[in-house]
Amino acid sequence: MHRFLVAEAAKHIGEKVKVQGWVNNWRAHGKILFIDLRDISGVMQVVFVPSNKEAYETAKNLRAEWVVEIEGQIVKRPENMVNPKIVTGQVELSVDALKVLSESETLPLSIDGDGYDIGEEIRMKYRYIDLRRQRMNQNLIMRHKVIRFFRDFLNSEGFAEIETPILTKSTPEGARDYVVPSRMNPGNFYALPQSPQQYKQLLMVGGLEKYFQIARCFRDEDPRGDRQPEFTQLDMEMSFVEQADVMELVERMLIALVKTHFPHKKIQEIPFPRINYKDAMAQYKSDRPDIKKDKNDKDLLAFCWVVDFPFFEKTEEGGWTFTHNPFSMPKPEFLDDLLKGKNIADILTTQYDIVLNGFEIGGGSIRAHRPEILHKVFEIMGHKKEAIYEKFGHMLEAFKYGAPPHGGIAPGIDRIIAILQNEPNIREVIAFPKTGDGRDFMMQAPSEIDKKQLVELGIKTSAPKKTTKKAKK
């Protein structure tokens, strides 16, 4: 007999079925024993009666979170026992056979309720238990559905999903890199990608024209708000496009996503309003403006685009740095100024950010596709010619061989799902997140490694030992 999910089994009244899952709770009414059996599809009431002695005696010993296999018949509940709040509320399982597959000790945290009142360190240490709560289950299932939607949508638009390397080169892109020592090349290091930015542009040089990837990104940033050291973005790039083309595609995709998977939510304004950076800062004091007309409506989605960003901003040392990324193209009317290195503070870039309810959920731009433009950007930022070619020579070389105009964007999957699921932070929609300072309480990482590994890598450590903070029960 094949296994039924409990929600599926509930549709087979009068039939014999086999179900497997966790004991959600156990209770007795007189001589009759009841459990609620839980699996990924929901819960269903299971009934044990004394006449089935073997199953009944085993059921007496069941406890919460034991894993069991049950065979029996789906029957209608008595009218006064119907539970309209759950999909299986009109039926119950009358047991023929019970098998205990795994026992459980008392859980170190409760999985009743939403879990918001439980300390985050405990929830992270026992994440595999925390994930059993219905809210967390549903967050990850919805994450799957959203990612599948993106894949299907972009496939229908002619995009190819292409993987790019995780081990890459350390280049200045705005945040610190996570570096990986190379055992076979002592003294040399890879870096984990802050984004697939350079690779996706090189795919455009390679003639792929429409690329996307569900990309893992890594940034070694100081603790700052609702950030993670590793996160996931929907990375996209297109050849022969202008700013309006990218924005139109993304807007259409997000509208379709909401209609498909969040039909109970209302988009405040379509098409999405476009606000230039200068006006956003003047009116909202932020380049991530929350334009919701009703701040109390959790199902109101106020999308907007922010455009016309300054290309450069002053550093604390008095030099120039980029505001978005160095690979952007200036707006056409500022290209001459950029190439001549004049009026730098006034140069605007082709950057566009998509904002939802006061959070930036994605950013992109039309890219520099000519080597002299990219070289000049780094020159303005004070990099010497030798350093430019050492860090970005591969890009400058590639652009010599017929690079098409191209542009893209990278919506943040974690942030989008957190907002659409009405979650307070992105950790609630990530299976195994880390703390704000990059710690994993479940795996006790980061941690020291074996001295033999250090010797093989030619690495000596001089930093003082730090005791990994233990989670409290």
Give the count of beta carbons closer than 10 Å to the beta carbon of residue 165.
Answer: 11
Q: What is the mean pLDDT of the chain?
A: 94
The two tokens of residue 417 are 């799902």
Give the model's pLDDT for residue 33. 97
Residue among 222, 213, 219 nearest 170 (CA): 219
In this predicted model, what pLDDT tens digit does every residue of 231-268 receive, in sequence order? Answer: 999 999 999 999 999 999 999 999 999 999 999 999 99
Backbone dihedral region for residue 115 (phi beyond 0: left; psi -120 to 50: alpha; all else: beta): left
CB atoms within 10 A of CB 333: 9
Dihedral class, residue 113 (left if φ above 0, else alpha if ψ from -120 to 50, else beta) = left
- Residue 472 pLDDT more than 70? no
What is the residue whose two structure tokens read 């890594």? Answer: 218
Q: Which two tokens stand for residue 330?
A: 């200036």
> Are 313 and 325 contacting, i.e. CB atoms less than 8 angstroms apart?
no
pLDDT band at 171 (very low <50, low <70, confident <90, very high): confident
- Cβ contact 327:202 at 8 Å: no
pTM for the model: 0.92
CB neighbour list of residue 391: distance below 8 Å, 6 or more residues apart: 169, 171, 172, 383
- For 290-301, the pLDDT digits (tens) are 999 999 999 999
Q: What is the pLDDT of residue 174?
A: 67
Decide: helix, strand or coil at residue 375. helix
Q: Which residues 6+ apart lie within 8 Å of 451 measured at CB? A: none
Neighbours of 354 (CB within 10 A): 23
In the prediction, which pLDDT does 437 show? 84
Confidence band for 205, pLDDT divided at 50, 70 and 90: very high
> Do the beta carbons of residue 199 and residue 164 sit within 8 Å?
yes
Half-sphere exposure for 250 (CA within 13 Å, toward CB): 32
Q: In order of start, what are the domains of the chain with their CATH numbers? A: 3-102 (2.40.50.140), 124-309+351-369+404-429 (3.30.930.10)
Q: Decide: helix, strand or coil at residue 204.
A: helix
Which of 362, 222, 365, 360 is CA-nearest to residue 286? Answer: 360
* Res 325: pLDDT: 86
Q: What is the number of other CB atoms lying within 10 angstroms of the CB of residue 360?
A: 16
Cα–Cα nearest to 277, from 244, 305, 301: 305
pLDDT confidence of residue 465: 58
Q: Which of 272, 274, 323, 337 is nearest to 301 (CA)?
A: 272
Mention every residue, 6+ apart, whose C-beta is less than 8 A from residue 236.
154, 159, 200, 211, 212, 246, 250, 364, 408, 409, 410
**377-409: pLDDT as tens digits:** 999 999 999 999 998 999 999 999 999 999 999
Distance set, CA 312 to CA 136, 319, 347 (Å): 41, 10, 7
Closest Cα partner for 363 from 306, 317, 284?
Answer: 306
Q: Which residue has the tokens 């603790």?
A: 223
Find where tokens 């549903």 sit: 138
Distance in angstroms (rounded) separating the CA atoms of residues 300 and 254 = 14
Residues 302-357 have pLDDT tens digits of 999 999 999 999 988 889 999 888 999 999 999 999 999 999 999 999 999 999 99
pLDDT(464) > 90: no
